[in-house]
Chains A and B, each alone.
Chain A
Amino acid sequence: MTALLVAVGTNGDVEAFEALFRHFAPRIKAYLSRGGAASADELMQEAMLIVWRRAALYDPAKGSAAAWIFAIARNLRIDAYRREKRPEFDPSDPALVPDGEEPADMRLAASEDAERLKLALTQLPPDQADVLNRSFFSDQSQSEIAAELKVPLGTVKSRMRLAFAKLKAALRGTGEAS
C-alpha cells in the first residue's frame, strides 16, 4: 500500500490509485458511516480525492500509507459530524520547534511492523480493546466512555495507556506477546 501511495504521489499513477481505492474505499466508508451518515459513500469519495490531491506530500519515512490515509479520514469525519474544530500544529509555523536528528529506528512503514501491529490489536485484553474501539469508531470522549461503562475516568485513562504501551511496543518490534 505504501509503494502504491508513493507511486500516486510521484507520478500521478492512476492505476496505483485505483488499487489503493479498491482497498481503502470500503474501509473508509465503514469508518465514516459509524457516525450514522447516509452519505458515507460521498464522504468516502471526498476522502479519496484528498488522498489523490495530497499524495505528493506523503513521506514514507514518516509512517505507513494506512496511518496517513486514516488521518485524512479522521479530519474529514470531525469536519462532517462535529461543530468544533480539531486544532493542529502547523509544520511551517516559525514558532514551531523543529525536529532534531531523526533517530535511525524511525521506520514505521515496513510491512513487518504492520503485521506485528495487526497481531497486537487482536491480542489486546477486551477491556482495553473496548475503550480503544469506542474512541476510534464511536468518537466517544474519555468521560463519555467512563459514564457508559460506569467506571471511574481514571480507569478509562489507564486502559488507554496500557493499550498504547502494548501497541507501541509491537510497532517498535520490542513487544512481548501478551
Chain B
Amino acid sequence: MTIRHHISDDLLLSYAMGSLAEGWSIAVATHLALCPDCRRRLVEAEEIGGGLLEGTQPQAIEPSSWESVRARLSERPAEKAGRAAVQAEKPIIPRPLRDYLGGDLEAVKWRSLGKGASQCLIRTGENTTQVRLLKIPAGKPVPEHSHGGRELTLVLSGAFEDETGRFGPGDLEDADGSVTHQPRATPDADCICLAVTDAPLRFSSWVVRLVQPILGI
C-alpha cells in the first residue's frame, strides 16, 4: 500500500490532544492502522501532550492519595470481555472501523443512493459529524455534492479521482467547505470509502435531494 495523502498536522494534533470528535477520529484512527508513517507522527504529537503535562501547574493532592493507591497495587483488575473471534482470513477493513461496522466488508448493509451508488450510515456517540461508508461503482461519479464544512474521505478499496488528485487505498482526502467536487471512481474497480462530514452533504441532483429526507442523509 503506497499512501500519498496523509493526516494533516492540525487533525493529528487535535486527535493526540483528545479534542477531536468521535466521527473524525474514526477516519484518523483507521488511517493510522494503515499508515506506519502517521503512527510515527502521532508519537511526536503525544510527546507534545507529555510536555504540556510536565508544564502543568501541579494541584495539591489529598494527603491520603498515595496510601490509597499503594493499598490497591496488588488488586487484579476485572478481566475485559473477550474480543470477538479473529476471522481466519485477513480482514480488509482495519479496526476501529471494523468494530463500528460489526464485521468486515461483507457485513455492511448497503442502501442505494441511485445510479448504482450506495451508502451505509455509521452511528457515533456525538452529533457534530456524520459518518458513512460509500460505495461508488467503477468509473462512476459520486453523486455531485457540496458540504458546508470539512469532509474527510478515507479510501478502503478501489480508488477515486477528483479535481485535487487521485486517492487510492489508505489515502485520506481532507476537503474544506469551499469545495463542490465530483469525485469519480477509477474504471478498474468499485471504490469503497469512509466519508465524514460536519454538515449534511448536499447532493445536487434533484432525485437524490428528493430521497434525502427518507434516507436520513
Contacts and interface: CB of A to CB of B under 8 A. Distances in A.
B43 interface: yes
B96 A118 contact: no
Interface in B75-109: 75, 77, 86-87, 90-98, 100
Interface residues of B, number: 74
A83 B125 CA distance: 6
B32 interface: yes
A136 B9 contact: no
B61 A100 contact: no
Chain A interface size band reads 35 or more
B95 A62 contact: no
Contact of A121 (B29, B51, B70, B73): B51
Given A48-B69, A67-B46, A135 B9 contact: no
A135 B53 contact: no
B164 interface: no
A21 B69 contact: yes
Contact of B51 (A29, A44, A77, A114): A114
14 contacts: A18-B70, A25-B61, A29-B58, A30-B58, A45-B65, A63-B46, A71-B49, A75-B18, A85-B22, A86-B22, A90-B95, A99-B36, A132-B48, A132-B52
Interface of B: 1, 8-10, 12-14, 17-22, 25-26, 29-30, 32-36, 39-40, 43-62, 65-66, 68-70, 72-73, 75, 77, 86-87, 90-98, 100, 124-126, 128, 149-150, 170, 176, 198
